[in-house]
Amino acid sequence: MIKSTNKLSVLSLSIAAALCTFSAQTELDQNDELNQSVAAVDLSDEAKKAFYDDSKLNLHSFLYIRDREDRAPGADFKPQIENQTLQLAMDYRSGYLKDVVGFDLWASTLMKVGDTVGQSEILLYDYDCNDDGIGGDGCEKTNTSLNIAALKVKLGDEQLGFAGRAGYTRINMGTIRSSWGLNPHSYRGFEGKVSMGKFHVGYAWADQFKNDWSDEFKDMTNAWHQGDPSMSAAQKIDFIHSVGAIYELDKGVIDLGYGQGKDYRDNWQALVKYSWDLSEDTKLNTAFFYHGGKYVEGKVSKVDNAEVESYIALGADIKNGGFTFRTAYSQTDAPSDPGGAYNFRLTPWANSDNRNFMQATSQIEDYNPDGTKAIKLGVDYNFASWGIPELSVGLSGNYGWDVISDKSAKGDARTYDGTMYSIDYNIRYRFLEGGLKGLNVNFFPAYFRSEDTNYKNDRNDMKLMFSYSYAAK
């Protein structure tokens, strides 16, 4: 495991030293054999080009504010999440030395602002705030961490080439993905991809994972708390791996994947996306997504009599002028899942991320409990025709039926009488010019209600986010 709290200063000094070295080298007389050989000069120039001239350095800042309340049946609404977080991050991406090898770094600080309630999945979460070895008294804390430190390689060209990255890295291949909180989630592992024109085939492997609410890379386990020693005992999942194939269509893509979580779960997916230009001003985007999975029976999954499970979804949106209209349908079959919902991951939640393309989701709910059939309708509007291209607003609604009634029931004891619905709003403003150019302000209120199911309580949610990125280089 990698502890990152003390590595940020070392990382910063290393980068500063490297930049100073590049600057000093340009001042040397490259023809003076007393200083360095011709070969060394060439290598120095190429290193400077790869790691400075061709590199990119972005500085990110994010103020995240969230307030979510939850209502148990027959009770009043109570705070579930209250969070204020300020993020500062550095994203460095080098070029390629000899046009072959480079490296990427992402380091961040997530600062707790004021008091917080619950687990936001943004700030570091300490399961044992009293430090008595007994979990259950969790709290959120400020932390600094190294999110990405990866070596990258490329060979060949677009017609026949290889691209890979390894270390503490993002993965986006097959059925494995790096999602985002305020920072990218990442793995200890590697990903490699061979490209032959529009056809790409790849493989990925990982044995540790880090999300925003952890300050270190942790082994993957069969417990939602990632095997925290103050919590219940957990079985280690030795590794996850996946193969994938992607074919780029002229106006779409076909994306296939198969993955395994050692002794825990297998899964597979198929995605087809295609777009049509209905007129000069109207475009139709469509998507079909199928995801299947099956638990590996045994002590790691804790599942007996595992069955094949599935999630199927269709989605479409039409863009015309400032309007974007959306519609989607999904259906879920997850009879073996111990939590009562379809699991897209090769591990339990929080131990890895999933590469999925769900269509009928909302801000608070993914609409994938066992049995659920769901529809979604939505519309977004950009005010460019009013002379305000910076402003966009949106409204969407979801409805689900045949939802599992009791998520703790197993096998034939399960019934499907539940319903649920959501209403989501969004207001987005992006400064396009002036001193605040690049600043984004997003406001997302959301509401969720359910009946005849204990899968999830009623919730009200609000997110207010300010983000800004500066291209330092």
The residue extents of the domains of the chain are 54-471
pLDDT given for residue 136 in this prediction:
81
Which regions of the chain are under pLDDT 50?
1-31, 34-35
* Cα angle value 403/285/422 (rounded, 5°): 30
**CA torsion through residues 442, 447, 453, 457, sign:** positive
Do the bridges between strand 373-383 and strand 458-471 make them parallel or antiparallel, or are there none, so unpaired? unpaired
Give the H or E element holding residue 14: helix 7-27
- pLDDT value for 32: 53
- Which two structure tokens, joined as six digits, stand for 141? 């804390």
* Structure tokens that stand for 456 in this block: 């999830």
Look at residue 18 in the predicted model and tell me its pLDDT. Answer: 42
Provide the CATH number for the domain formed by 54-471 in this structure: 2.40.160.10
Burial per residue of 396-417, b for 16 or more beta-carbon CB atoms within 10 angstroms, e otherwise:
bebebebbbbbbeeeeeebebe
